[in-house]
Amino acid sequence: MSQPSYLNFDTKSYAWKPDIDYRKHPEVYRVGKGEQGVLICEPYKSEIGPNWRFRTTEIAEESSSKIFEMFGRYLETNEFVGADMARKYLQMGYTRARRYANYKGGKKYDAAHDYQLLERRTGEQEKAAAAAVFYQRWKAAEANDLYAALKKQWKQEKG
């Protein structure tokens, strides 16, 4: 049986650190997989995070639009780390809204019963629609030619 990844999490070996200013020290930033580092990397967490909401489709539209605009501004100023973090927030908007659509209260594991996987439910249309909004913007960010080139170069040079 698989357990949540946050159990027994080794913060010391985690590549992203909360005490680093990634704007001042972008050279230590790693792209990683999926959404890694999204809730840690400052100042981007503080800049992008307050705009991240997905409770309803309308809120998801406004939120993903703001974050996508930020993504574009980071690219315009050649700030890859900010663009990658904005992309991660768009991805996280999709994954979290999907989790709330699939699991009551967004909880996937039952902590009271040895972290057994809870029963999956479907039909939470509002959250599913919010997820679709974020999905479109996430994929648009990933499809951006400048972003794709910067990401490829970053991964080759820095990881």
| Residue 22, domain member (yes or no) | no
Euclidean distance between CA atoms 134 and 30, whole angstroms: 23
| Residue 97, domain member (yes or no) | yes
Does 79 have pLDDT greater than 80?
Answer: yes
In which element (H, E) is residue 140 found? helix 125-143
Per the structure, how many domains does the chain have? 1
Does 85 have pLDDT greater than 70?
Answer: yes
| Residue 3, domain member (yes or no) | no
Quick one: average pLDDT of 107-128? Answer: 75
| Residue 8, domain member (yes or no) | no
By percentage, how much of the chain surpasses pLDDT 70? Answer: 93
Contacts of 131 (CB under 8 A, 6+ apart): 54, 60, 93, 94, 95, 97, 98, 101
| Residue 16, domain member (yes or no) | no
By percentage, how much of the chain surpasses pLDDT 90? Answer: 68
Expressed as residue numbers, the domain containing 135 is 32-157
Quick one: average pLDDT of 97-103? Answer: 86
| Long-range CB pairs of 28-36, under 8 A, 24+ apart, other chains included | 29/81, 29/84, 29/158, 30/158, 30/159, 31/84, 31/151, 31/154, 31/155, 31/159, 34/88, 34/91, 34/95, 35/88, 35/91, 35/92, 35/95, 36/88
Q: Fill in the amino acid letter for 57.
A: T
User: Reduced to 3 states, what is the DSSP secondary structure of residue 108?
Assistant: coil
| Residue 85, domain member (yes or no) | yes
Helices 57-76/80-102 angle, 10° precision = 160
